[in-house]
Amino acid sequence: MVAVLLFFALIAALPAEAAGAKSAPLKIVAFGDSLTSGHRLPSKDAYPSVLQGKLKAAGLPVAVVNHGVSGDTTTRALRRLDDALAEHPQIMIVELGVNDGLRGVPVPVVKANLEKIITAAQAQKIEVVLCAMEALPLQGWQYTIAFHQMYEDLAATYGVTLVPFLMNGVLGNPDLISDDGVHPNAAGARFIAETVFEYIFPIASTVAKDAATTPDTR
């Protein structure tokens, strides 16, 4: 009799466990450099934290994990990619390249590194959102043009969503930029979060809906 009761108790528990799995928060990894880490900002003011708040306010149960490291190039970021992928996110926001551009790293090298990041994520069925960066004409205009085109080419080749130049509207705006003239202040980070939100909300909504009806087999 005890065994029979235990059996039915286990069966009754299954739907609740399944429902709990379905309501698990969507996970997004923000993978980038100082623009992602929030240079000299409290973690709550960095754009990934602000983005998380905006997505939650829009009704999405989401956790945005900040994997930004100040000063990172695409080569350095590759060395810690496995740690980011180990988070098992459904979406990865890739914001990298500006430090390569400042150092004059050849565009084919930067592109190859970004390709490795994108394809590694896609191999794990992770939706990738790529944030475009720009290179100052320190290495000549041809380098700047090739650097700009690189992001568009990657987005087209791998079918990923491309966010236009992330610092557009922030650079040169004294209300949004910090005293160093390079990094966003808290208001600038909120501006960036708003920009990213417009691109990521439709994706996150679709992924969350699919996750609610499809078991995660990754």
* Catalytic positions: 34, 180, 183
Among 79, 121, 117, 66, which Cα is nearest to 96's?
117
Q: Specify which residues 131 forms β-bridges with.
A: 163
Burial class (CB in 10 A: 0-12, 13-18, 19+), 78: middle
Residues across the chain = 218
Q: CA 50 to CA 187: how far, in whole Å?
A: 10
Q: Which residues of 123-134 are buried (b: 16+ CB within 10 A; e: fewer)?
A: eeebbbbbbbbb
Question: In angstroms, what CA-CA distances link 92 with 9, 58, 62, 117?
Answer: 39, 19, 13, 10
Q: Specify which residues 127 forms β-bridges with.
A: 91
